[in-house]
Structure 1
């Protein structure tokens, strides 16, 4: 596997890894990455959590209405209920990050 570049991992980088590791054409590799991301987004949009073993879980959480405060003026304002997306790394991923690889 090639060394990742410093900075941000992009869709193109993922497609390059699929191309290098599996041997699909560049177009097919990009298509595979896009389809995976599409299925993940569709599941989340449908209210499903996404769990990738050995990587982590994308979890949807509903937050209720609450009172917030404008930090500049100190005026209290209601914050509407909303759905938030969180990511929780798997234990394996946490260990890899801490050990550096």
Structure 2
């Protein structure tokens, strides 16, 4: 499922126009992205949580030449699946 599919489903299930459904989806994802950019955690009960993990600088290796390369510190978003979603997906 992609963003367009989500808009289509929201439109079909709630009687929104395509533009209204698109606005709702945009607001939802933009608000989540803004919260993560501020370093906040986003938690959706039944689905999971998204948080930002910080990595310090380290020395890595260029896989082609084997030369040491300094890797800058970075922040990356991580998703941790909720228990209810795990159980729903692994229904075997």
When the two structures are superposed, what TM-score results if normalisation uses the length of structure 1? Answer: 0.83
- Name the counterpart of 1:37: 29
CA offset at residue 38 of structure 1?
Answer: 1.0
Q: Map of 1:1-101 to 2, 5 A cutoff? A: 9-99=1-91
- Size of the aligned set, in residue pairs, is 92
Where do 4+ consecutive residues of structure 1 move more than 6 Å? none
Q: Which has the higher contact order (CA 8 A, sep 6+)?
A: 2
* Cα distance in 2 between the residues matched to 1:46 and 1:19: 31
- SS state at 1:60 partner: strand
* Cα distance in 1 between the residues matched to 2:40 and 2:61: 32
| Alignment RMSD (CA, Å) | 1.3
When the two structures are superposed, what TM-score results if normalisation uses the length of structure 2? Answer: 0.90
